Homo-oligomer: A and B are copies of this chain.
């Protein structure tokens, strides 16, 4: 700690013994883990970390910090002393790895250079002590990684040369290449460096090290890394640390090997260590899944001593970190080295189970357990699965790498995945294995299937993080990428575009599309909500479902925000209540006027059979609203008056133009169609979204307000007469100015009063306004004088704040913006904090200033998005209203928000 506590500024270099696990800010996640493990006495190779501060200065100033070279040299000397070996020693040299390690894990996104310290002179010494093949393979790797990372030479050149060497030798893997062949390859690699970069591998090991550090710094700003950060919401400003660690080798024969393991099962959460081990291999070989690994049970059988030591270290780590940890380890000639640890990624199911188990084990309290899960994870558990018992047989099986079930059309490369997804296809990405280059394709796909790789392979880790269905290590799957086809066990062939169904919970793959069914969690939640008092979730057979139930119940206990649903049919209302909604925050009245019933609005507007149409609209609304209010007995139901543009209720202009023109050209004009065409032309708008809709339409055709409100008031009165407790509320949409609002409110109040007089049943009807235009937000102080509540319509508010229509924008430019990185996230999915969020905060503040009791809800789709929920609750809204299946997600996140905001966010473990 000396370096940190006595230095007047952040140190540039910190040796492992001087750091600890709390210093991830400057040491990065990997460096902090290595330092902490060193402190815990685990067998960690010697090393030190160049801090993120050094990287940030390098990136900011375009040159390295003045003191870096000196500090690097001092740390290196200390490393040499403790390792008892020196860099460049021709007899028994120190070799080091140079690895990136940022604050938040960015798996595979950045650069690594191994075997730094090998030179023409050193390689001879290594060959003499450890064999020529090992020496030249290591040197070959160094030249390749240095060439690519430091000098920017395209990997393809190296791969081509290796392929030629394999062909010349008549072998299929690099491991089968001889020392001579590798020496020859190494020589040719160095020619590639000279040819493409104009320089050779430096023969000064310290220069190798120094330039490798700077290359890792620079890799922070690479395209792949940037895109990953944009997707994950990681700040561009953090920079990466660089870890310089003494090399240990897993590829030194049968008593060597490398492995990756978890303190618990990261897919199921089962409290048993879980991992993969590969004999005579370096770490990359485990992660990229190119060879079959053995699991820990097998390791225990074959190397009981090693297994016992490893499991002991895992226990030490979990005790310290109080959470699931993963480690990378290497065994060099029988000696175990732990190379890395971090809080491990896990599947959504595992997240819930681990959090509850850790609580039951007395490690964390329930608040912390709640913060260990999130709404994205819960949402993925609520996804439907395939119907079981249909007797369909899988055509292949692999590892259940990320649960969920999905059906889509097969593609074999990331580019095609993105292209097809952009045009609205559901695609399943099928790959031999995935690499960071495939990230775009993973994001675009509904599921990923790989031929190779275990549960810790790139595909598995990334898919779990994204909540995508994933099956890895499918035996018998042979992907012919160029031929755009794949072979399956039993001689089956899969062509690009074929339908494939993937079950990430079982690892099964099916040909064709399959029907999906609700998740066990969703079914359980819906069954509980009627009898929550008895905590029925405690007795559920499935430990994941049980954990979800416990944490959801705890979230309900903690949260202060209400959760309602957007629902308008009796069955939606029923589902909403089952999912735990405490009311309806948005019942759209237009749904009962679409389809064939559009003609009713047309008749009202044109005056053709007007009275009959109005009566019919009123009757339809009365019947349905009475059922909805009955379902929601005792809970508030916010009914929004007619909102869509008028044209949605009218016949299609183009259809009519074409139909009438063709009829006229044929000499038999269609007079009825001509009449309707005149009407449609009269009301046609260039931009209906900015036209006659919402309160504007209600001002133009006030009877539409009258009948809707009367229907609602009569429905409520009828229920009240039956002894029920209906709680209707009415909301006016698309208000820009207070005068529009007061006009509508006057009509609503008059109608409510009339019904009360006629029925002798006085039902209180709170009135509200939707805040869905910037001007409504900007004039909230004035609007709040008139109403009982605001409800933020974040979809439309996003639309006008950004000046883009959701429907048009997606295909015309928004998809391209996300692809090019112009927009990191879709503002229609995650609340745009600095634009739309700012308007909401302003509206909340100024509305409450006018009327301290003002109700504040959100009924746009953001109310069901976990990230947006925290922004909305921080802005001060009272309740969230989302689609019924999203209600549990909103409940969970609202509970997490309450815990995290009370604890100042300190309790929450942010695993990024």
Contacts and interface: CB of A to CB of B under 8 A. Distances in A.
A808 B774 contact: no
A804 B691 contact: yes
Interface stretch (A407-415, A654-662, A754-762, A853-861): A654-662
A77 B906 CA distance: 79
Nearest to A734: B803
Contact of A690 (B665, B689, B700): B689
Interface stretch (A103-111, A292-300, A447-455, A736-744): A736-744
A523 interface: no
Contacts of A740: 817, 822
A905 interface: no
Nearest to A812: B692
Interface stretch (A150-158, A529-537, A679-687, A878-886): A679-687
Interface stretch (A83-91, A276-284, A831-839): A831-839
Interface string A707-744: 00000000000000000000000000010110110010
A660 to B, nearest CB: 9
B804 A699 contact: no
Given A662-B665, A665-B665, A809 B691 contact: yes
A808 B773 contact: no
B657 A690 contact: no
Contacts of A817: 699, 740
Contact of A688 (B653, B687, B801, B836): B687
A679 to B, nearest CB: 14
A696 interface: yes
A686 to B, nearest CB: 6
Contact of A834 (B653, B779, B803): B779
Contacts of A40: none
B691 A835 contact: no
A237 B49 CA distance: 71
A791 to B, nearest CB: 16
A808 B685 contact: yes
Contacts of A516: none
Contacts of A686: 688-689, 805, 807-808
A839 B699 contact: no
Contacts of A665: 662, 665-666
Contacts of A685: 805, 808, 812
A813 interface: yes
A137 interface: no
A654 B802 CA distance: 28
A799 interface: yes
Nearest to A824: B739
A874 interface: no
A556 interface: no
Given A685-B812, A808-B685, A835 B778 contact: yes
A326 interface: no
A741 to B, nearest CB: 10
A408 to B, nearest CB: 24
A822 B743 contact: yes
B838 A736 contact: no
Interface string A761-785: 0000000000011110011001000
A690 B808 contact: yes
Contact of A796 (B803, B805, B809, B838): B803
Contacts of A836: 775
Contact of A691 (B688, B736, B805, B822): B805
A774 B839 contact: yes
Given A809-B690, A813-B696, A801 B822 contact: no
A816 interface: yes
Nearest to A802: B736
A800 interface: yes
A73 B803 CA distance: 63
Nearest to A741: B822
B801 A691 contact: no
A395 interface: no
A800 B774 contact: yes
Interface in A642-684: 653-654, 657-658, 661-662, 665-666, 683
Contact of A692 (B800, B813, B838): B813
Contacts of A666: 665
A838 B776 CA distance: 12
| Most-contacted residue by chain B among A737, A775, A796 (CB, 10 A) | A775
Contacts of A689: 686-687, 690, 803
Contacts of A812: 683, 685, 691-692, 696, 700
A128 interface: no
B773 A801 contact: yes
A417 to B, nearest CB: 22
A823 interface: yes
A229 to B, nearest CB: 14
A740 B821 CA distance: 10
Nearest to A736: B802
A690 B803 contact: yes
A226 to B, nearest CB: 12
Nearest to A664: B662
Contact of A775 (B692, B803, B820): B803
A687 B805 contact: yes
Given A689-B687, A808-B688, A812-B696, A775 B796 contact: no
Contact of A687 (B653, B658, B782, B808): B808
Contacts of A688: 686-687, 808
Contact of A778 (B700, B799, B801): B801
A801 B775 contact: yes
Contacts of A691: 804-805, 808-809, 812-813
A820 B696 CA distance: 13
Interface string A182-215: 0000000000000000000000000000000000
Nearest to A816: B700
Contact of A803 (B662, B773, B832): B773
Given A688-B686, A808-B690, A808-B692, A778 B839 contact: yes
Contacts of A700: 812-813, 816
Which residue of A773, A778, A839 has the most chain B CB atoms within 10 A of its CB atom? A778
Contacts of A690: 687, 689-690, 799, 803-805, 808-809
A582 to B, nearest CB: 30
Given A689-B686, A690-B690, A838-B778, A816 B773 contact: no
A134 to B, nearest CB: 49
* Most B CB within 10 A of own CB, among A661, A782, A820: A661
A822 B774 contact: no
A802 B734 CA distance: 9
A835 B774 contact: yes
Given A686-B688, A692-B808, A699 B816 contact: yes
A424 to B, nearest CB: 14
A838 B812 CA distance: 31
A739 B839 contact: no
A689 to B, nearest CB: 4
Nearest to A822: B739
Given A658-B657, A813-B696, A813-B700, A802 B778 contact: no
B775 A802 contact: yes
Contacts of A820: 699, 743
A808 B832 CA distance: 28
11 contacts: A690-B803, A696-B813, A700-B816, A739-B821, A739-B823, A740-B822, A774-B774, A774-B835, A778-B835, A779-B834, A779-B835
Given A740-B817, A778-B835, 16 more contacts: A653-B654, A685-B808, A686-B688, A688-B808, A690-B809, A696-B804, A696-B813, A699-B816, A737-B802, A739-B823, A773-B803, A774-B774, A774-B802, A775-B803, A779-B834, A782-B834
Complex A-B, nearest 5 residue pairs according to Cβ-Cβ distance, in ascending order: A690-B805, A775-B835, A692-B812, A691-B808, A685-B808
Interface of A: 653-654, 657-658, 661-662, 665-666, 683, 685-692, 696, 699-700, 734, 736-737, 739-740, 743, 772-775, 778-779, 782, 796, 799-805, 807-809, 812-813, 816-817, 820-823, 832, 834-836, 838-839
